[in-house]
Copies of this chain bind each other. A is one copy, B any other.
Amino acid sequence: MVRYKAVIAYDGTNFHGFQRQPNGRTVQEEIENTLQKMNNGQPIMIFGSGRTDAGVHAIGQVIHFDFPQERPEERMRFGLDTQTPDDIAVRSIEIVSEEFHARYDVQEKTYQFKVQIQKPRSPFLRFYAAYYPYPLDLDKIQQALPDLLGTHDFTSFCATGSSIEDKVRTIYQADMEVNADRSEITFIFRGNGFLYKMIRILVGTLLKIGNGRLAADSLPEIIAQKDRNAAGPTAHPEGLYLAEVKYKKTK
């Protein structure tokens, strides 16, 4: 068995998320089906760095899988890329140690969240950005973002019903970029891990701050409350992109 690590991109619009499920097309299912064909009909399981929800996109999701024979990396990449559907791209593949695990060895993840803030809603962004055509003071959002940095218990920003017990995470980067014509903003969050729907709740809360319905300095208090009801709403999935996954030094 040879272990392969692959960096993949996908347009989440027509997927019911990354993880295989009984009803609905998923990224895992499509890639596993392709690998099975490449493996003479024998099934192969893939492991992702984490799940993504329905409608959520990936620029740099990472997976690993074991293949019975060693094939040159570029041949494996090309085969998998061209045989998966067009809404999945295989950007790179490398052979790694069999101790590498796409999920357990994650060191940090970067997410981007794109919001269209100008009317009318662009037909080109309807699946690729959330839409917020309301008054927005971007300075207030800029002012609030640094309060997210560092190590905190992010219970207030975790969807209720999550079974994860330890909700302490460290955020290294929390930035916002504005495009040239000020029609779109993009949030960038980088951390050692994120809770279920955490980025979307962070964005929903930051937009509420920008809209003036929460004070610019309210994040520390919201974090301290450890209560999902203290934070803002969950932003729509179509704005979210898993941008990059970094790993500990390959074993």
Question: Taking beta carbons and an 8 Å cutoff, which residues of A are in contact with B?
Answer: 9-11, 57, 77, 81, 86-91, 120-124, 126, 128
Contact = CB atoms under 8 A, between A and B. Distances in A.
Contact of A81 (B10, B57, B86, B120): B120
B81 A124 contact: no
B123 A11 contact: yes
A123 B90 contact: no
Contact of A120 (B11, B90, B123, B124): B90
Query: How many of these chains are in the complex?
Result: 2
Nearest to A9: B123
B11 A89 contact: no
A86 B9 contact: no
B87 A122 contact: no
12 contacts: A9-B124, A10-B123, A11-B123, A11-B124, A81-B120, A86-B121, A86-B126, A87-B126, A88-B123, A89-B120, A89-B122, A124-B128
A250 to B, nearest CB: 23
Contacts of A124: 9, 11, 57, 128
A89 B128 contact: no
Nearest to A90: B120
B121 A89 contact: yes
Nearest to A58: B123
A81 B133 CA distance: 14
Contacts of A91: 120
A220 to B, nearest CB: 36
Nearest to A119: B81
Contacts of A57: 124
Nearest to A92: B120
Query: By CB atoms of chain B within 10 A, which of A10, A90, A123 has the most?
Result: A123
Contacts of A121: 86, 89
